[in-house]
Chain A
Amino acid sequence: MSEPASEPILVVDALSGRIAGQQVIEDIAFEVPATGVTALLGRNGVGKTSTIKSILGLIERTGDVRLAGERIDALPTHRIVQRGVGYVPEDREVFGQLTVAENLRLAERDAAPRRELVERLFPDLVARRAQRAGTLSGGQQQMVSLARALVNENRLLLVDEPTKGLAPRIVDEVAVALAEAAQTVPILLVEQNLRVVRRLAERVVVLSGGRVVFTGTAVEFLDDEELIHRHLGVHDASEAA
């Protein structure tokens, strides 16, 4: 297993999370390097989304979470995000009654939001500025969700299943946007589509039974059919597209 070259941007240690009193992840420990994409993998229901939500404090959690060396596990969600953590949730969670422009304006934290970047990456959204986000297609909603995270200068992006349920063409657009974003900000990516993982991720962290069972390079994991089968329940990366 290779180690990150510089100080990690995120260090998670002994992280446990509970939803409605039920333990959903237990004693999770991993690091996210300061550059590139780290994929968080595992079978359905294994606790990937819960791990992301625990880092953000969206669910009850215990453990040690450090962002660039600073402990953030005792902070409320909005303070963690204000420290430079962008979040793209599973199922997009756009504000359906608000327009596209209002969704983006709401997300702007920086004094100089990166509107030009967002407009370049998602030109379709410019034309739909005045449209209610709830009336957009799933792909367009995903663009809004990504744009909300990219409009600010973040230190880390937490991106949860961005290609879920999307048409292949839109999956490609999302992957392009994430690849461009990854040039300037490290990303922790939850993703079921292993083709996207292979295209974007340098490292993977694999969960099973609510615990980390593998940490290493993406190539090392994705080229090992036995590992993929054991931890993801598929025979090779092409099955999980």
Chain B
Amino acid sequence: MSTIVLLLITGLGLGALYFLVASGLSLIYGLMGVLNFAHGSFLTISAFLGWEVGRRVSDGTWWGLAISAIVGIAVGAIVAALTEYLLIRRLYERHIEQALVTVGLSLATVALFEGIWGTDPIYTARPEWLTQTTEILGAKIPNDRFLLIACAVIVLGGIVLFLKRTRYGLIIRAGVENRQMVTALGIDVRRSFTLVFAIGGAAAGLGGVLASVYYGYVSAHLGSVLLIFAFIVTVIGGLGSLTGAAVASVLVAVLQQFANYYLGGTGDLVVVVALAAVLLIRPRGLMGKIA
């Protein structure tokens, strides 16, 4: 029983991390049809700069972590908005060029990060409570999982409120359904593109800082590793569906944890098999719209 509880809650924690990356990917694809392979770079640069500022302010404390998170969110939002404004905006409806540019940006930035911070992981200090465990039904749960889950729930709630309660949210929801009709109502839908990139970048930025808490280090490849699973989650959840991304994040991460424990470390393989199964049986994903 304790093992199942442990796997479930650690799976939820990992799922929270996947969701923070996948939420932006899903919104960006849903509204703009852009598969943003550079999304992992938003996460990595945010993790590095968040760590750099946080450790200078107060290393290994809650205050330092809070500063890291704020810097990470801001960096993620700014870098993502600049990427949209300077690179992607010129390439709407040119999907191959978009993919080439974002893949190129992702490769170039990893090389840049390696040049600045080196190729080896840099281990980070965390507040003491995050290094401890809490016992639930006999299972000793690492405390950082609770932080990840709480942050993901807050981000999910914040994005849902934004989408439901604001005019820009309304435009984005309508744009995900039918972008051309939004413009035919006299709305400059492209303005909301930058905003969606910024929101996705901010979530990825927070994800980057939390990933450094989860893994205990920052590295130039932090974003690349998480991006693969975030893409899988986005496809399984249904491209463009925020709820789908949230549900799929939890399903994939929990499945991964159980497979790793009970099937001899085959978590990644099982996730890929699950992706193939979803693509074969339900190509639009769990909650995606019918093409």
User: In the complex, which range does the number of interface residues on chain A fall in?
Assistant: 20 to 34
B187–A78 contact, CB under 8 A? Answer: yes
Chain A CB within 10 Å, residue with most, of B177, B186, B189 = B186
Looking at the assembled complex, report how far the CB atom of A81 sits from the nearest CB atom of chain B, in whole angstroms: 3
Number of interface residues of B (CB under 8 A): 17
- Give 10 nearest A-B pairs by CB, closest first: A81-B186, A77-B183, A82-B186, A95-B174, A93-B181, A78-B183, A78-B188, A87-B184, A107-B185, A95-B177
Question: Closest residue to B181 on the A side, CB-wise?
Answer: A93
Give B residues with C-beta under 8 Å from A.
Answer: 167, 170-171, 173-174, 177-178, 180-189
Residues of B within 8 A of A58 (CB): 180, 183-184
Q: Is A106 an interface residue, CB under 8 A from the partner?
A: yes
Asked if B177 contacts A97 (CB within 8 A), the reply is: yes
Q: Which residues of B contact A97 (CB under 8 A)?
A: 173, 177
Residues of B within 8 A of A77 (CB): 180, 183-184
B183 touching A76 by the CB < 8 A rule? yes
Tell me the smallest distance from the CB of B181 to a CB of chain A, in Å: 5
Cβ of A78 and Cβ of B180 under 8 Å apart? no
**Whole-angstrom distance between the alpha carbons of A105 and B168 in the complex?**
12
A182: Cβ under 8 A from any B Cβ = no
Bound: A98/B185 CA distance, A: 15
- A103: nearest chain-B partner, CB-CB: B174
Question: Which of A58, A93, A95, A97 is packed against the most chain B CB atoms within 10 Å?
Answer: A95
A203 within 8 A of B: no
Which residues of chain B have C-beta atoms less than 8 A from A87's C-beta?
184-185
Q: How far is the CA of A27 from the CA of B183 in the complex (A)?
A: 26
Which of B170, B178, B186 contacts A93, CB < 8 Å? B178
A93 vs B185: C-alpha distance in the bound complex, in angstroms? 11
Q: Does A211 have its Cβ within 8 Å of any Cβ on chain B? A: no
B180 touches A81 (CB 8 A): no
The answer on a CB contact under 8 Å between B170 and A98 is yes
Give 15 CB contacts A-B under 8 Å: A58-B180, A58-B183, A76-B183, A77-B184, A81-B183, A81-B184, A81-B186, A82-B186, A93-B181, A97-B173, A98-B170, A102-B173, A106-B182, A109-B185, A152-B186
Closest CB in chain B relative to A114 CB, distance in Å: 15
User: Which chain A residues border B171 with CB–CB below 8 Å?
Assistant: 106
B189 to chain A: which residues have CB within 8 Å? 78
Given the complex of chains A and B, what is the CA–CA distance between A98 and B169 in angstroms? 11
Cα-based distance from A102 to B182 in the complex (angstroms): 12
Assembly CA distance A196 to B171 (angstroms): 34
- Whether the pair B184, A56 counts as a contact (CB closer than 8 A) is yes
Q: How far is the CA of A78 from the CA of B180 in the complex (A)?
A: 10
With contacts A78-B189, A102-B170, A105-B170 known, is A95 near B184, CB below 8 A? no
* Bound form: Cα–Cα A23–B171 in Å: 32
Q: Are A81 and B170 in contact (CB under 8 A)?
A: no
Cross-chain contact of B185 among A76, A81, A96, A102 (Cβ < 8 A) = A81
